[in-house]
Amino acid sequence: MADSLILQIDDFEVDVLTGIYSEETGKPQPLRFSIAVRMKPADHYAPDTPLTASKNYMDLKFAASEALSPGVHFKLIEAVADHVCETLFVQDDRVEVVTVGIVKLAISENGEKIGMTLTRERR
């Protein structure tokens, strides 16, 4: 098995315009993101290895927040996840696979985690 590096951010919440029902449209909904990025690692990480040998974790957070176009309404959270994947692929050629999990917090009645996970490989 080849070496791989997984960078991740879990339980990051952002308000996003999403939904198909009338009560969902026109106002942002809170979404909880978990994002994992698989990339080829450096051959070795010494104590003085620069950040350029990896990827800034904040890029993952950016892809699920500021990179989402303001005012754009995503009917499906799958479309939100797809946008996050594409943003991360464009940011860095070393990204091989992106997994985005999204939980729709507004529809939970008893603490359920209702949502989806999309995994995309670089094409």
* Residue 79 φ/ψ, nearest 5 degrees: -70, -35
- Is residue 41 packed enough to be buried (19+ CB in 10 Å), middle (13-18) or exposed (0-12)? middle
Q: What is the pLDDT along the chain (123 residues), one digit of tens a residue?
A: 789 999 999 999 999 999 888 777 788 999 999 999 999 999 999 999 999 999 999 999 999 999 998 889 999 999 999 999 999 999 999 999 999 999 999 888 888 899 999 999 999
- State the Cα–Cα distance between residues 123 and 119, nearest whole angstrom: 12
**Interacting residues of 19 by C-beta distance below 8 A, sequence separation 6+:** 25, 29, 75
Give the tokens for residue 7.
């960078």
Domains identified in the chain and CATH numbers: 5-42+53-121 (3.30.1130.10)
